[in-house]
A and B are shown apart, each in its own frame.
Chain A
Amino acid sequence: MVEDRVRRLRALVSAGRVDRDASVVGLVCELCVAELSISGAGATVLSHLPDDVGTALGRGLVYATDPVSAGLEDLQLTVNEGPCLDAFASGGPVLVADLAAEAARWPGFTPAACELGVAAVFSFPLQVGVVRLGSLDLHRDSVGPLSRVEMANALVLAGLATQEVVADLDGHDVADLSWLADPHVEIHQAAGMVQAQLGASTEVALLRLRAHAFTSGLPLAEVARQVVARALRFTDDGDRR
């Protein structure tokens, strides 16, 4: 059942990608609109410095399926508050079925968002632990929550968007889609070990692990197991056994 949902949504992403040269994150936004009872979707992908001098994050690419979504993305960055920033702070999604009722929560964001015609907003952080990649923000022009099935689909789509942002960063399209939600926690442990080996950020460590998996043809989980077992170390010169 889980695999079916993920497979179906992933197939839709792949199909959309073949059709045109669209950005995958933009495609995920469009899929959100098609699959969920929402009016529009937007995403902000934080810009990253790959050489990493302290994970300087800036405003990166913004995707939006409609002008209201674009306005919402702009608004959060302008007033520096809103569901997307709260989602990063809490680590989980921020789900607001009736935005007008939450005026006290975001005094700057809420009135302006309502003026744009937004009645409900649902923000999902795009992140891998401490690696912050961006956010996926959905909105609707009428109040009401997402259904359970919609929530499950939204979480899967946010996961796919996260995966695609990472793939965009390193250029490796790893077909194995299980690595993000994998209960094999070694991947995250290995990222922590490799970042300490390299004196780099978690993000750089994650990219190096993926690059090693890609070039060696091993599954990411296997590479991670070797790192955690202290059988594989990463250095600035290369990966060493």
Chain B
Amino acid sequence: MSTARDQQLASTFVALADTLVADFDVLDFLGLLTERAVDLLAVDAAGVILSDQRGGWRPAAGSSEHAHLVEVFAAQTRQGPCLDCVRGGVVVASWDLAEEAARWPAFGPVAVAAGFRAVCAVPMRLRDDVIGALTLLSAAPGPIDDASVALGQALADVATIGILQQRAIRHDAIVYEQLQAALHHRTVVEQAKGVVAEVTGLGMHESYTALREYSHAHRRRLSEVAAEIATGALSPAVLRDAASATSGTNRDAK
């Protein structure tokens, strides 16, 4: 591993640790984690999918909220490497999604159409359970190297800890409570993104970025700001400044 990467890695864990303060926001944390995963693991996109605890899976965070990536993550909840990963509790990878018509007839074409050729899904494990997965996507076909997969697993473990927050995991109840709350906040963020997109004319990804940047600039929780926007307690106009300062910092296929 290169020195530059070591430094990047150290700064990532410092940044993640910084968010793990008493009143941190799970979605914001997962957003940061997926963005850092993209930089650190030399992939083009990353996302986290969580168990809905009814037997289904839901997208919770992505390195970008561009529509094509959102589609891929939605498709993943029905079929694909992520689903195989959470079912088996093991790393599932494909080095060329164009060759996976037999394995994933529905997922393969969606991912390829969105501009992705290689994928690796890493389980988020808690004791004997799998509560979700971190998926890494590359635009170019070819293997994601072992060191990156190992690092991906480390990030997935950090994500698990983050979701369950700092509370001691006394029993399953807390896992249920935290996961369901995270999925609820995801819905609130989607509603807020819609309000911001309509009022500002921004796209969904830019609306999401504006929400996050405003939250960070004001040291607020993303889910609180999103709830205030969606309920009208906070005017979306305040996000315009945050939005204008936004530049495309995420590498993203297509």
Contacts and interface: CB of A to CB of B under 8 A. Distances in A.
A184 B177 contact: no
B56 A192 contact: no
A196 B199 contact: yes
Nearest to A124: B180
B27 to A, nearest CB: 11
Contacts of A129: 184, 187-188, 190-191, 230
A58 interface: no
A5 B55 CA distance: 9
A241 interface: no
A29 interface: no
A96 B183 CA distance: 20
A201 B181 CA distance: 22
B180 A155 contact: yes
B230 A189 contact: no
A155 B192 CA distance: 24
A202 B229 CA distance: 10
Interface stretch (A67-75, A85-93, A135-143): A85-93
Interface in A159-205: 159, 181, 183-185, 188-197, 201-202
B176 interface: yes
Given A130-B191, A183-B59, A185-B74, A192 B180 contact: no
A196 B201 CA distance: 11
Interface residues of A, number: 42
A211 interface: no
Interface stretch (A17-25, A31-39, A109-117, A145-153): A145-153
A228 B176 contact: no
Contacts of A5: 54-55
Contacts of A190: 194
B192 A90 contact: no
B136 interface: no
Given A91-B185, A93-B180, A183 B194 contact: no
Contacts of B198: 192-194, 196-197
Nearest to B195: A192
Nearest to B67: A228
A152 B178 contact: no
B77 interface: yes
Contacts of A128: 187
Nearest to B56: A2
Contacts of B182: 92
Contacts of A194: 194, 198
15 contacts: A91-B185, A92-B176, A96-B173, A148-B172, A152-B53, A181-B56, A183-B58, A184-B74, A185-B70, A188-B190, A189-B194, A192-B195, A195-B195, A196-B198, A201-B232
